[in-house]
Amino acid sequence: MQYEAGNFDVVVVGAGHAGVEAALAAARMGAKTAVITINLDMVAFMPCNPSIGGPAKGIVVREIDALGGEMGRNIDKTYIQMRMLNTGKGPAVRALRAQADKFDYQHEMKKTLENEKNLTMVQGMVERLIVEDGECRGVVTMTGAAYRSKTVVITTGTYLRGEIILGELKYSSGPNNQQPSIKLSEHLEELGFDLVRFKTGTPPRVHSDTIDYEKTEIQPGDDVHRAFSYETTKYITDQLPCWLTYTNERTHQLIDENLHRSPMYSGMIKGTGPRYCPSIEDKVVRFNDKPRHQIFLEPEGRNTQEVYVQGLSTSLPEDVQQRILQTIPGLEKVQMMRAGYAIEYDAVVPTQLWPTLETKKVKNLYTAGQINGTSGYEEAAGQGLMAGINAGRRALGKEEVIFSRADAYIGVLIDDLVTKGTNEPYRLLTSRAEYRLLLRHDNADLRLTDRGYELGLIPEERYQKFLAKKEAVEAEKERLRSIIIKPSAGVQELIRSMGGSELKDGIRASDLLKRPEVSYEHIKQLVPADVELDFDTAEQTEIQIKYEGYIEKSLQQVERLKKMEDKKIPENIDYDAISSLATEARQKLKDVRPLTLAQASRISGVNPADISILLVYLEQGRIARISSN
């Protein structure tokens, strides 16, 4: 029996890391939103590693925060440890990573959703979409509840026709033995979507009391206050350490002996797994010259004894997992609480999406997160936010929002997905961003807060604070450019003490700061500011001055491509009518339907000559129109 369960602007299916951002963004923009999830106890659950951030991913979290999303704030309230990675490298690759208390994390996130006005949370299994005239107009759950809406966002993670594989055992399941979503997957196929089978995995969890930490190395958090969110002012001081240990020859031998029982090698697993997240059996087989692999022991929270064994992702049978663990120093007597497993699931081939994450097949339907072939909480959250923004704006009758590759890692992520597709679960890497010097951890606010404010996701007070910071950075840059430091005895002394070569002439404070051995702290000693700058402002000033030349180079690169980015391709273009296109290029263009010439040029199989021809065709159309007028 179907019944009417309510009318909404936006319905979000799933409340994982993508779903919560989508729902919050839509609701905060003023759209009446419902979020429907199979199990309300699993909101923002971390089925794999209990951590947020890291290279590239950490920057995504900052971007989400600059756009008014929740992930940064939520982890700042619930971390057990925080570390800045790559501090010895340049500012572009610095990345924050937190270990989360995974239970606090989900409870805190659920609370935030519950307290959001405009947002309705319900438990339910969505089995099909209401599609009329090629438009999505709501969803229907297993119990027959029909939720009508203007737009729908699907964020089902690894639940779509999920199957857990553990040794010789294979059964239908979502992650962590949750109920899988089977009917929805079939329904998407009926609607004509191409689905692909992906695989990912997770390692075993062990009991902390049975670990001999003496045999491992401690990995503490930073003793400086760190935060993902630009809003955070309270810091957690009692951090918990992680621990490092290694596999050894015995581990590898044991794996080798049991390979025939591995579903990876017996052919039971058919889905494509990610190269960047191989199982331990994969690592041992592919890199058999490596005498050892790192294993990080990560607490899953403050009120649990469960410890995540990072580096030991596996789908070997349970008994083998237990024995493998016991070969590792510190884990000789360990008690395994949960076995690792592999999970196969359906994902939507992401080239079926517009860069807004709306599907091309069904209007007003959006997909975000792991369903789009990505992996990682941050990648999911970034997409969720964008899908939520676009679904919300569509419902409210507003323009769509797309970030470019020069705006944000979120832009890189979505452009890669919808333009190139992916043949393995997609993970963001810093090397995927061609303008990574522009897409830094430190300047996420400068890049995106204005946009967040325009979207109505950044409150006035925060925005004013942001503007003040921006102004302070500009003022300080200007001040350092205008001050000449003279080579007085005191100055020379200080320069010598920092290991630099003495000044020959007077030098602008800003030019002195460009020397590698000179920091803003030094400059501050030489030419103190009237008002002491806070850490963020000082850091921003320093980075902008120090790397000015390189930043300028990147900006020129962006500028060079801008004309191609600006060249729009009409949605109704008929590629079959352009006879000179190469066959492969034509097919790819028809599949991807790029919105700009630049996007077209990034499709593999579309070569420069095809772009030229496309351009000529576009111009021909324009000229024809002009001459007929």
Partner 1 sequence: MEFDTIAAISTPMGEGAIAIVRLSGDQAFEIADRLFKGMGSKKLTEVASHTIHYGHLIDPKSGQVAEEVMVSVMRGPKTFTKEDVVEINCHGGLVSVNRVLQLVLNQGARLAEPGEFTKRAFLNGRIDLSQAEAVIDLIRAKTDRAMNLALGQMEGRLSRLIQKLRQEILEILAHVEVNIDYPEYDDVEEMTHNMLLEKAKYVQGELEKLLQTSQQGKILREGLSTVIVGRPNVGKSSLLNSLVHENKAIVTDIPGTTRDVIEEYVNVRGVPLRLLDTAGIRETEDIVERIGVERSRQVLKEADLILLVLNYSDELSEEDRNIFKAVEGMDVIVIVNKTDLPQKIDLDEVRELGKDYSLVTTSLLEDKGVDELEEAISSLFFSGAIESGDLTYVSNSRHIALLNQAVNSIEEAINGVEMGTPIDIVQIDLTRSWELLGEIIGESVHESLIDQLFSQFCLGK
Write down the least CB distance from residue 604 to partner 1, Å.
Answer: 7
Restricted to residues 375-394, the positions that interact with partner 1 (CB under 8 A) are none
DSSP string over 510-571: HHHHTSTT--HHHHHHHS--SSPPPHHHHHHHHHHHHTHHHHHHHHHHHHHHHHHHH-B--T
Name the segment binding partner 1 (CB under 8 A); options: 125-133, 397-405, 464-472, 549-557.
549-557
Residue 499 neighbours by CB under 8 Å, 6+ apart: 517
Decide if residue 287 touches partner 1 (CB under 8 A): yes
On whether the CB atoms of residues 475 and 468 are closer than 8 A, the answer is: no
Smallest distance, partner 1 to C-beta of residue 283, A: 5
Nearer to partner 1, 55 or 373 (CB): 55
Quick one: CA torsion of 228, 233, 234, 238, rounded to 10 degrees? 50
For residue 264, the one-letter residue type is M
Residue 497, exposed/middle/buried by CB under 10 A (0-12, 13-18, 19+)? exposed
Annotate 461-526 with DSSP letters as a single string. Answer: HHHHHHHHHHHHHHHHHHHHHHPEEP--HHHHHHHHHTTPPPPSS-EEHHHHHTSTT--HHHHHHH
Whichever of 55 and 299 has its CB closer to partner 1, that residue is: 55
Stretch that binds partner 1, among 69-77, 365-373, 461-469, 546-554 (CB under 8 A): 546-554
By CB under 8 A, tell whether 90 contacts partner 1: yes
8 Å CB contact between 160 and 371: yes
Please give the residues from 587 up to 606 whose contact with partner 1 meets the rule CB under 8 A.
597, 601, 604
Please choose, from the candidates 396, 307, 323, the residue with its C-alpha nearest in 3D space to the C-alpha of residue 33: 396
Residues 408-447 interacting with partner 1 (rule: CB under 8 A):
420, 429-432, 434, 436-437
Distance CA 284, CA 294 (A): 12
> Six-digit token pair at 408?
């944000």
Residue 501 identity (one-letter amino acid): S
By CB under 8 A, tell whether 310 contacts partner 1.
Answer: yes
Give least dist CB 40 to partner 1, A. Answer: 28
501 binds partner 1 (CB under 8 A): no
Least distance to partner 1, CB of residue 554, Å? 7
CA distance to 150, 231, 440, per residue, from 62 (Å): 30, 11, 9
Q: Tell me if 613 contacts partner 1 by CB under 8 A.
A: yes
CB of 93 to partner 1, least distance (A): 5
* 374 DSSP assignment: B
Nearest C-alpha neighbor of 585 from the set 575, 570, 572? 575
Nearer to partner 1 by Cβ, of 275 and 496: the residue is 275
Residue 299 sits in the site that holds partner 1 (CB under 8 A):
no
DSSP state at residue 271: S
**609 contacts partner 1 (rule: CB under 8 A):** yes
CA 145 to chain centre: 32
Strand ranges, E, within 362-430: 365-367
Q: Which is nearer to partner 1, 315 or 601 (CB)?
A: 601
Which letter does DSSP use for residue 578 in this model?
Answer: -
Residues 507-526 that bind partner 1 (CB under 8 A): 516-517
Q: Give least dist CB 243 to partner 1, A.
A: 13
The answer to the question of residue 553 lying near partner 1 (CB under 8 A) is: yes
Binding flag, residue 296, partner 1 (CB under 8 A): yes
Query: Which of 267, 397, 528, 608 is the binder for partner 1 (CB under 8 A)?
Result: 608
| Nearest CB to partner 1, comparing residues 122 and 429 | 429
Size of the site for partner 1 (CB under 8 A): 65
- What are 181's strand-pairing partners? 160
Element (H, E) at 280: helix 280-286
Q: Which is nearer to partner 1, 114 or 584 (CB)?
A: 584
Does residue 2 bind partner 1 (CB under 8 A)? no
For partner 1, the binding residue among 33, 37, 49, 510 (CB under 8 A) is 49
- CA angle (497, 501, 507) in 5-degree steps: 105
Give the one residue of 115, 237, 627, 629 binding partner 1; rule: CB under 8 A: 627
The least CB distance from residue 91 to partner 1, in Å, is 8
Q: Find the shortest distance in angstroms from Cβ 151 to partner 1.
A: 33
Positions touching partner 1 (CB under 8 A) are 48-49, 55-56, 85-86, 89-93, 203, 274-278, 282-283, 286-287, 290, 293-294, 296, 310-311, 313, 420, 429-432, 434, 436-437, 516-517, 547, 550, 553-554, 560-561, 563-564, 580, 597, 601, 604, 607-609, 611-613, 615-617, 619-620, 623-624, 626-627
